[in-house]
Amino acid sequence: MKITETTLPGVLLIEPDVFGDQRGFFMETWHRQRYFDAGLKKDFVQDNLSLSRQGILRGLHFQHPHPQGKLVQVLRGRVFDVAVDIRGGSPTFGQWVGVELSGDNHHQLYVPEGFAHGFCVLSDEALFSYKCTDFYHPETEKFLLWNDPDIGIEWPVSEPLLSGKDQKGKRLKDFSRDELPLFPA
């Protein structure tokens, strides 16, 4: 397994070992001790799975309080996956990183607590898996505008299909200080 820190400290690109032959492949998607030994010392409490079709954009979502760290990967298809640092006081506040995750490259992305997360589907459909460090708390879920011009995410779609909640996302500058997580002192 190879783990690479992205341009945002704490956001990790993980390339698990994949063992393939003419029959297909085998890989471990999570092995607590191996990931702990590699520096990802997280306990996950909830797994989620979503299926989305091409052009759908889910995000940018976060919870505060009750932030969720997420270990995400695509089981089938391709997505452009994005993490945005929304921690007040962070030296990388408002910065984003995006990577392509696919069922072919088997890469995973760890998005820490305190980051907004979203993805758009590049293939006909995508089966997307999330491991979360906290439970879903709908009363604390918040929506950052997917195309906030102050953040400037370079999405590979210009007119994505959005949920009603995602259409009503707010710009980062419009969140009050109390609505955002803080960078650890």
Domains of the chain: 2-17+28-175 (2.60.120.10)
Q: Which of 61, 66, 136, 137 is catalytic?
A: 61
| pLDDT given at position 18 | 96
Chain centroid, CA 54 distance in Å: 18
| pLDDT given at position 153 | 98
Are 107 and 4 a contacting pair, CB within 8 Å? no
| pLDDT given at position 184 | 87
Q: Is 119 helix (H, G, I), strand (E, B) or coil?
A: strand
The pLDDT-based confidence of 185 (bands split at 50, 70, 90) is low
Question: First and final CA of the chain: distance in angstroms?
Answer: 31
Q: What is the mean pLDDT of the chain?
A: 97
Q: Is 37 helix (H, G, I), strand (E, B) or coil?
A: helix
* C-alpha R_g of the chain: 16
Q: Which of 66, 110, 130, 136 is catalytic?
A: 130
136 is catalytic: no
Q: What is the DSSP string of 14-51?
A: EE--EEEETTEEEE-S--HHHHHHTT------EEEEEE
Q: What is the mean pLDDT of residues 108-117?
A: 98
Asked if pLDDT for residue 136 goes beyond 70, the answer is yes
Predicted TM-score of the model (pTM): 0.96
| pLDDT given at position 5 | 95
CA 162 to CA 57: how far, in whole Å? 6
Q: What is the mean pLDDT of residues 43-54?
A: 98
Smallest CA-to-CA distance from 72 within 39, 92, 48 is with 48
